[in-house]
Chains A and B, each alone.
Chain A
Amino acid sequence: MDQEFIAEYIPLYREAAVLTVKIGFAGIAAAILLGLICEITDYFRIPVLKRVVAVYIELSRNTPLLIQLFFIYYGLPKLGIHTNAEVCGVAGLAFLGGSYMAEAFRSGVEAIDAIQEESAYSLGLSRFQTIRYVLLPQALTISAPALIANVIFLLKETSVFSAISLMDLMFTAKDLIGLYYSTTESLVLLVVFYLLILLPVSILGSVMERRLRYAGFGV
């Protein structure tokens, strides 16, 4: 392994990692928001929107991210919407992740007994207060493991961003391999940087999960 090469290209990878993290977390935040909106639509059985959400969830779950990205990247300009690759990356991740997040929220909401809601109503709490103070905190606790798993899954999915010429980690590695045939070094750097991003998230996730579990459960 060429250590000089590695040292030379670490800054390039660092930059790519920053881009990956930026787009990754923006996309995940958007996915969580989208998932929450989907679940709210479903929970309140909002007539037409509910159907739209159902179709979206099937589309999102049953097509690969790469194809979703192509649709956004090449399709949007055809509709007269011009953006850059970064926004497309965020949108793509949100489109893929929204359905997974929605399912995670749903499993949490469905795990709560209806009588908990009735108990809150019988105390004179409004529907909003019941959701805000009684249902949501419990649902989040139950959903937490699935939500955290989704975050990690989506961060890993960012590796296809290079297909829409985002200069992310994958792009950088492929570029260097193409230019210098430095396969080993480029791949080692790629793996190390992905681990640097994912390991902390993973560890933080399991800590959070454990704390939530002790904070909230067993009736």
Chain B
Amino acid sequence: MPETILEISHLRKLYDDLRVFEDLSLTVHEGEVIVIVGPSGCGKSTLLRCINALEDIQGGEIRLRGEPVSKENRNLQSIRQKIGMVFQNYELFPHMTVLDNIMLAPVKAQGRKKEEVREEALDLLKRVGLESKADSYPRQLSGGQKQRTAIVRALCMHPEILLFDEVTAALDPEMVREVLEVILDLANQGKTMLVVTHEMQFARAIADRVIFLDEGRICEEGTPDGFFDEPKTERARKFLNTFTFERKGAKN
């Protein structure tokens, strides 16, 4: 059994009166790629934000390699350095070049040497086809390029786990692929990842395990083939049906 990286147990999360999670548990093992799907508003973003302690939680526990992730933990900063997060709208720093965006945290937060980080950053940029954009500002990039930069920025921290929150949802269709291929490549390298996505083909290709989240519960989980071909619950069937189209009348 591979080592446990992330353990969420009995997570309870409320926004004022709104109950998002009552009792959610999930274990992520090293090298595992978990895809989280579910209808809008079911709590996918909230879950990822809790894992990064960007949200307060009202009960339960989240541990990264045994260490509690919470705002009370004095080590929160160093724990967050081990959790890479990629946001739907990139959230690059607009006043910095691509290279500075990537180098900021490794140099300032991890205290690594500038030269070493620069070299790695340039190497990573090259791997995602952005070596020529190192000195560009985010506003000079396309959406797909921005998102690839954001992924490199997360990678350069050498995180133990990567969180992706609908990272292609804001992209024009022709740019979706270039970003998904980067993520697929990371999966092939054995990175541990939690991926929230609405790209079902991609989910199927990349997932070791699919989790269907609905009304704040893990409604169903299984292998990608199992989940997509033979969903066990009615809710999952309904959800998956929203991605397929069928014409009732005959085609000429």
For the complex, what is the distance from the CA of A129 to the CA of B93, rounded to whole Å?
13
Binds A, one of B81-89, B176-184, B232-240: B81-89
Binds B, one of A32-40, A54-62, A88-96, A118-126: A118-126
B157 to A123, Cβ gap below 8 A?
A: yes
Q: Bin the interface of chain B by size.
A: 20 to 34
For the complex, what is the distance from the CA of A203 to the CA of B82, rounded to whole Å?
48
Q: Bin the interface of chain A by size.
A: 20 to 34
> Does any Cβ of B come within 8 Å of A219's Cβ?
yes
For the complex, what is the distance from the CA of A215 to the CA of B81, rounded to whole Å?
29
> Chain B 57-98, CB within 8 Å of chain A: the 1/0 string?
000000000000000000001111111110101111111000
Query: Among the listed A121, A125, A141, A216, which residue makes an inter-chain contact with B108, where contact means beta carbons less than 8 Å apart?
Result: A125
Please give me the residue from chain A that is nearest to B163 by CB atom.
A122
Give the residues from 71 to 130 in chain B that come closer than 8 angstroms, CB to CB, to chain A.
77-85, 87, 89-95, 104-105, 108-110
B87 to A137, Cβ gap below 8 A?
A: no
A115 to B89, Cβ gap below 8 A?
A: yes
> Does any Cβ of A come within 8 Å of B153's Cβ?
yes
Measured between beta carbons, the chain A residues less than 8 angstroms from B52 are: 121-122
Min C-beta distance of B234 to chain A, whole Å? 35
Measured between beta carbons, the chain A residues less than 8 angstroms from B82 are: 124
Measured between beta carbons, the chain A residues less than 8 angstroms from B79 are: 124
For the complex, what is the distance from the CA of A217 to the CA of B140, rounded to whole Å?
10
Secondary structure at the A interface, as helix, strand, loop or mixed, is helix
For the complex, what is the distance from the CA of A63 to the CA of B52, rounded to whole Å?
48
> Does any Cβ of B come within 8 Å of A218's Cβ?
yes
Give the residues from 113 to 138 in chain A that come closer than 8 angstroms, CB to CB, to chain B.
115-116, 118-126, 129, 133-134, 137-138
B94 to A123, Cβ gap below 8 A?
A: no
Please give me the residue from chain B that is nearest to A128 by CB atom.
B108
Please give me the residue from chain B that is nearest to A138 by CB atom.
B95
Measured between beta carbons, the chain B residues less than 8 angstroms from A141 are: 95
Given contacts A119-B93, A122-B83, A126-B77, 14 further A-B contacts (CB under 8 A): A115-B89, A120-B93, A120-B105, A122-B54, A123-B81, A123-B109, A123-B157, A129-B108, A129-B109, A138-B95, A141-B95, A217-B139, A218-B139, A219-B92
A-B contact pairs, 23 of them (CB 8 A): A115-B87, A118-B54, A119-B85, A121-B52, A121-B54, A122-B85, A123-B80, A123-B81, A123-B105, A123-B154, A123-B157, A124-B80, A124-B109, A124-B110, A126-B77, A129-B108, A133-B93, A134-B104, A215-B95, A216-B94, A217-B94, A219-B94, A219-B139
